[in-house]
Structure 1
Amino acid sequence: MKKWIAAASLTLGVAALAGCSDEESASEVIASSSAGDITKDELYEEMKKTVGEQALQMMMLEQVLEEKYPVDQETIDAEFEEAKAQYGEQFDMVLSQQGYDEESFKEMLKLNRMQENALVADVEVTDEEIQAEYDKMKKEVSARHILVADEATALDVKKQLEDGADFAELAKEVSTEPAAQETGGDLGFFGPGTMDPAFEEAAFNLEPNVISDPVETSFGWHIIEVTETREAEVEPLEEIRDQVEHDLKLAKADMNQIGTVVRDLLNEANIQVEDEDLTETFDALLQEPVSSPAAPPAEEPAEEETTEDTEE
């Protein structure tokens, strides 16, 4: 969620830039004091100097995305309610800290979703994959884990557990997870989409009371034990199918390609910039990145000449 904050805030915070250049209202006074007046035109020029290019890029991107990948308000409202439930009583405080009100936060969610839609436009998933993902959503697992720095240590932890070591005590002794000292590695119940993908895949495929092989994630190496499973309450598939499909496509998509997707969309839009101070705004975005030239192959070291020892 937070990865879009800077970009979305920029778009929302300088929205006035779009309307400031109207010739009829450019000289309209928007603030006055005993020291003088400030007009719309003056504000536009000042904003153009500070955030003009970034703002124009984001505003144009939003328009292009809106045309090709619109998002209905029902989807945005659902994401908003999900975020609200996630943060609970702290929700209003989190919005305030990030400089949002409810309206601007929904605008950020909309921009986020449109970019996701563009990224997954050519990604395909099957009905079987959707059904399998939905079936997984109906299951929650309670698991505990021990996190260590390397595979060798993880293998040693696994052996100690199989030899009868107490899981909670061993977690307190060797786990690098700070919370392990309090929890003994217990994570409680969780459903799909809440853990690192590799960790989640391992946990959801484990039978209860079976010690996993070492599982590598961005946090380190885990030894996992599922202690219990239960049915989760989920809406009927026909009501959430679109979201399940979207999430599956997003999981398959190459997130590193978002820059290429944006560049292609902007190129197709045939952008013309009339303000001469902003004519280079899209130059870098519209060009394909230049690949670094390949390093020349290393020269083979010359073979040393050998001379046979001769008797003098």
Structure 2
Amino acid sequence: MTHHALRTVMLAGALLAMASAALAQTRNPPQPTRPAPAATAPARPPAAEDASAVKSGEVIARVGDSDVTAEEVRATLQLLDARQQAAMAHDPALLSQTVRAILANRLVLREASAKKWEQQPAVVAQLARARESLIVETYLQSVTAPPDSFPSEAEIKSVYDANAGALLVPRRFRLAQILVSVAKDADKATEDTARKKLDDVVRKLKQAGADFAAIARSSSEDTASAEKEGEIGWVTEPDLRTEIRGQVTGLPKAGVTDPIRLEDGWHVLKLLDTEAAHSRPLAEVRDALVQRMRAERIEANRRAYVAELLKQSPPVVNEIALSKLLEAKPEAAPSR
């Protein structure tokens, strides 16, 4: 295996771990009555935004006497999955972390090479297996990839129609809320204070011409929604808490629920709008369907190709020896 190929294999593991860790740190926990953020189409990494702006051989970074070129950064980014690439597009700092990870790997590789680490018997064996796996994987990719014309528009439409049920978007509700905070294990005095405030809110809401938005601004203890006149946005029906769903689904537009007790306090919600359940249009899911269809075709082609090879050259396995191998205890390492 060449030094360049070895660097690529090493970088892949480090960068995938780095990207996953960075994504985990920035992920926010869902709120009980708020909608999950809508999925967005994967974006290209920043390094690929304008391919003509940076030449492939241009040096992006350097450590010691080792350069990292734009071509190497782009190649490394292609090893990341679509979600990780999208994260980099939305947070350029992640791209800088990626380049720094490449530089760190270069330093480690230089240290290892100076000590001839690649000549260690265990490393030689692992490199041989990695080389074999890389050859097998890239060859299978080349012989099992479907033509660019697959799938046809008719095939896409057929799969879309067959999976219409799975593409159904459930009913959604646009909600606003007023929250009177009080923990379920609060003492009696705290509970009484919260209850008095709740009664005052309910009294104001029942007055003729009551302005829910104004009351939310002045009384709600959910500061994030209070700044937006109590609005918490769109929530799909399955995402609603059972206690809330029971009241919201029966409300007319602009209707207000009775106070609902949850772990964090009393919630009073207003239904601002409703969106009926509907199937996602083909144009919206076409790219995802194409990716899935091509992936399934590749997997089917791969199974068929390998099955044909095995048919032409049937393997012979000594099952008795194999069972003994599994039963045998590993030899103890020699004492030092």
TM above 0.5, yes or no, is no
For the aligned pair, the TM-score class normalised by the smaller chain equals 0.3 to 0.5
Calculate the TM-score normalised by the size of structure 2: 0.30
Structure with the greater alpha carbon radius of gyration: 2
